[in-house]
Amino acid sequence: MKKNRIYIFDTTLRDGEQCPGASMTLREKLEVARQLARLKVDVIEGGFPVISEGDFTSVNTIAREIKGPTIAGLARCVPKDIEAAGKAVAPAGKKGRIHVFLATSKLHREFKLGKAQSQIIKLAVDGVKRARKLVADVEFSPEDASRTEPDFLVEVCQAVVDAGATTVNIPDTVGWAVPGQFGELIGHLHDSVPEFQSGKAIISVHCHNDLGMAVANSLAAVQAGARQIECTVNGIGERAGNAALEEIVMALKRRGNKANRESLQAGGAHERPAGAAQQGDRRRERLRPLERHSSGWHHQKTRDVRDHGSAGRRLGADRVAAD
């Protein structure tokens, strides 16, 4: 992994699809995946293969047909999920990734899983090792990481990296974090795990927008050492949504340092995937706090964008650049 590169991980087809009313057919998912490949995102999370035949088939088809990005399949930390994800991403060969997750916060440990810290670490390590037998590229997410005790989170990160995870994703699962605090947490993890400093493994972040800070939190994390950002087209996703791909990319392009630019020379970055456009527009109208707080220019511009185009409509680049 290149030490200073920022990797863009798009989860429109997985987390984005969890937005009410945003479910897509296989054909639509393939179309979105094709457009994401044209944007040159680094990773496409195609779905959660064990959940349904439909999810398995879409991840599997995307892994077979989409060239360029890494194709990831999500899995809980249980054998049948990991096996299904491994099978689904297999056609992508070296570009296949299994993304394993397990909750680590006290709340989830005590009330959802009924497990002690040591049991959580063992499960996480076993899951990562199982996934590594199937693919070389394994991502681990400690669910509800932003509400997990920081020192326990360090232990989890070190254990899964030792077990072979190459990316450790720190999700702000319930959209609870604020930039200063989240940046501090990422900095603490970065300083505590030597592999994050050497680049042998990288920190990823996955932020939700319940307090309208998904993008700000993601950028604070990058400043503190994170090297992958998980996001969705137009920020669609669970509840108030995820960090918006177009805002992240343009913020890094306009305001990032030179080292970050490598991942941002996206040939079609001014376009957006047509299949996600309608849902994204609706979502933006209803739930994006920044849009509602805008002085009017943003609203006007967004309407202009929506009203004058189809598959190749502007992503929002003008809007970010003008701020």
Q: Which residues of the shown chain bind Zn ion in the complex (CB under 5 A)?
A: 15
* The residue to which tokens 């941002």 are assigned: 264
CB of 96 to Zn ion, least distance (A): 21
Q: How far apart are CA 203 and CA 199, in angstroms?
A: 9
Alpha carbon separation from 257 to 223, 243, 261 (Å, rounded): 10, 20, 7
- Looking at beta carbons only, is 70 or 169 nearer to Zn ion? 169
- Looking at beta carbons only, is 96 or 237 nearer to Zn ion? 237
CB of 9 to Zn ion, least distance (A): 11
CB of 140 to Zn ion, least distance (A): 15
Q: How far apart are CA 32 and CA 36, in angstroms?
A: 6
CB of 67 to Zn ion, least distance (A): 26
CB of 172 to Zn ion, least distance (A): 9
Do 244 and 215 contact (CB within 8 A), yes or no? yes
Alpha carbon separation from 245 to 49, 88, 123, 218, 275 (Å, rounded): 23, 25, 32, 11, 15
- Looking at beta carbons only, is 144 or 155 nearer to Zn ion? 144
Which residue is at the shortest CB distance from Zn ion? 15
CB of 242 to Zn ion, least distance (A): 6
Tell the burial category of 177 from Cβ atoms under 10 Å away from its Cβ (0-12, 13-18, 19+).
buried
- Looking at beta carbons only, is 15 or 139 nearer to Zn ion? 15
* Residues pairing with 205 in the sheet: 170, 229
- Looking at beta carbons only, is 58 or 146 nearer to Zn ion? 146
- Looking at beta carbons only, is 85 or 269 nearer to Zn ion? 85
For 273, the token pair is 């995937």
